[in-house]
């Protein structure tokens, strides 16, 4: 039995939902009220002691790392459709996941700032500061815990996103998919992170600046499993800090 405990469909939640849909795996969806900080209260805190979201529960075990959970879905339910069967192919998939994961913070930071108002961010961060036993945020999430991100920090986030876009554009000039000849969880992870860029940073991913990536986003968006998830969770998909 699978359960996906999640808040609004941020990139990490999207990638798991899409992978589960592609695999045809039955999974119960358990919504967590992130705005109300329910991730920091029971019963969710029994699954994610540090407020982790999303959490995939598989046969009673809570998988709190979304990238590891994504690989679990591919291996346990993908039937060879979501990742290569050979060891070298798996290496390529993991190498791409390692390129994508560090850009989650910059994308969420930029999305959080461009799709919310200062007062909304202030209220959320004020409530977050009252949570008992919460670990200190690190990395990109810490940028907005202390204060509004500066223009320099937002510029750095755009640069990090642009670097990933360039890597993907170069790879897609050589092959239809990121890792080998077939669609895989590498494409799912990158798509879930970058599918909002046409709205967030159109200058990075329009057909003129990144034609390969632009076409790749469109190809993936046409897949039935992807369409079903995006239809169920329309709008912007970014994670607030912590």
Return the CATH number of 2-77, one of 3.40.50.970, 1.10.240.10, 2.60.40.1840, 3.40.30.10: 3.40.30.10
CA 220, CA 226: separation in Å to the nearest integer?
7
**Inter-residue contact 184 to 82 (CB < 8 Å):** yes
| pLDDT, tens only, 42-100 | 999 999 999 899 999 999 999 999 999 999 999 999 888 898 888 998 999 999 999 99
CATH class of 87-223: mainly alpha
Q: E strand or H helix at 172, and its extent? A: helix 151-172
Could you state, in order of their start, the residue ranges of all structural domains in the chain? 2-77, 87-223
Edge to edge, the sheet with strand 55-58 lists: 27-31, 2-6, 55-58, 61-63
| pLDDT, tens only, 174-206 | 999 999 889 999 999 999 999 988 888 888 888
């Amino acid at each position: 039995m699978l359960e996906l405990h999640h808040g609004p469909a941020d990139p990490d939640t999207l990638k798991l939902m899409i992978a589960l849909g592609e695999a045809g795996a039955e999974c119960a969806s358990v919504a967590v009220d992130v705005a109300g900080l329910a991730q920091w209260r029971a019963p969710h805190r029994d699954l994610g002691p540090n407020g982790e979201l999303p959490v995939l529960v598989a046969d009673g075990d809570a998988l709190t790392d979304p990238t590891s959970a994504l690989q679990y879905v591919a291996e346990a339910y993908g039937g060879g459709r979501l990742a290569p069967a050979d060891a070298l192919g798996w290496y390529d998939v993991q190498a791409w996941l390692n390129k994508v994961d560090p850009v989650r913070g910059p994308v969420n930071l930029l999305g959080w700032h461009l799709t919310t108002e200062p007062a909304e961010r202030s209220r959320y961060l004020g409530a977050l500061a009252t949570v008992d036993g919460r670990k200190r945020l690190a990395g990109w999430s810490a940028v907005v815990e202390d204060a509004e991100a500066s223009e320099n920090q937002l510029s750095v986030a755009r640069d990090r996103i642009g670097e990933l876009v360039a890597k993907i554009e170069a790879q897609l000039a050589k092959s239809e998919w990121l890792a080998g000849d077939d669609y895989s969880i590498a494409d799912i992870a990158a798509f879930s992170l970058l599918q909002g860029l046409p709205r967030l940073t159109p200058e990075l991913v329009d057909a003129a600046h990144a034609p390969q990536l632009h076409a790749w986003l469109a190809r993936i968006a046409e897949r039935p499993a992807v369409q079903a998830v995006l239809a169920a969770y329309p709008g912007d998909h970014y994670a607030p800090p912590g």
